[in-house]
Amino acid sequence: MKIIIHGGFFSESDQSHEVKTAKQNSLKEIARKAFEFLQNHTSEETVVYAVSLLEDDVLFNAGIGSQIQSDGKIRMSASLMNGENQKFSGVINIENVKNPIDVAQVLMKEDDRVLGGIGAKKYAEEYGFKDFSTEIPQRRKEYEEKRINGGKGTVGCVALDQHGNLAAATSTGGKGFELVGRISDSATVAGNFANQYCAVSCTGVGEDIVSNATAAKIVIRVTDGMSIEKAFEKTFTELQEIDGFAGAIGIDKNGNIYHQDSHPTMVFASYDGREFEIFR
């Protein structure tokens, strides 16, 4: 059983040492809780649990930490993929829900598993998700001052359970001040993809991740026999050719964990029940 999570990027130029330490501590605690949860739950259930914890932490750009778009509203996207049954579900630009990843999980039982905007919100209401404002005073202040605090990123989790099944989940609050209707990579297979061989979650500039098909490429290359390390390296070499900004985390069917970023520093934590690895 293995777990790895990410929380976007950290920039020394616009974030303090105190923020860095807070993110390290938070990621370590969430990774620990998620690994404990994994002992008695599936990989799908675990990645949803971990991402919901990240959505509930104001340090990260998802859920209550989400950025504000150009019209002053918050819209979030999230997706889930089960590597065992190859099902993908997600919500795109959903408003006023506490945990978009939970809505994505409910959608797993539907034939229509990716919903956007008003339809996603209506579906959430029909399934008992209460209206919840994810805006916090800090984000409103940032919007009024026309600046973004915290840089580019999303949150995500990849897990391998005791039955050898993989899953990936990703959630984002957007890049801030984007055009209304903009769609990120987080609810696409470019940013979140899994099968029985490998699972990957991405963070960074959505347009770059989509152009590079980052998560899907890595997983397909592992499926075709490439090692997870080589699959990451080749995919990120191709990302560099378009000057792409991204980071990714992954686990293969053998429990090998790997992560890479094109621009330092992706914030992440992994745990296997014995050792933590945390970004520095």
Residue numbers annotated as active site: 154
Residue positions in the annotated binding site for substrate?
A: 182-185, 203-206
Give the residue from 98, 84, 59 showing the smallest Cα distance to 167: 84
Q: Which residues contact 48 (CB under 8 A, 6 or more apart)?
A: 80, 101, 102, 104, 105, 169
The CA distances from residue 221 to 195, 196, 241, in Å, are 12, 13, 18
The tokens describing 206, both together, are 């959505």
Which residues line the annotated binding site?
182-185, 203-206
- Rg over alpha carbons for the chain, rounded to the nearest Å, is 17
How many helices and strands, by DSSP H and E, does the chain display? 8, 12
Interior angle at CA 33, CA 29 and CA 36, nearest 5: 140
- DSSP code of 64? G
The phi-psi region of residue 276 (left if phi > 0; otherwise alpha if psi is between -120 and 50; otherwise beta) is: beta
Can you tell me the distance from the alpha carbon of 180 to that of 13, in angstroms, rounded to the nearest whole number? 28
Token readout for 279 is 């970004």
Measure the CA–CA gap between 32 and 6, rounded to whole angstroms: 13
Q: Dihedrals φ, ψ of 237, to 5°?
A: -65, -40
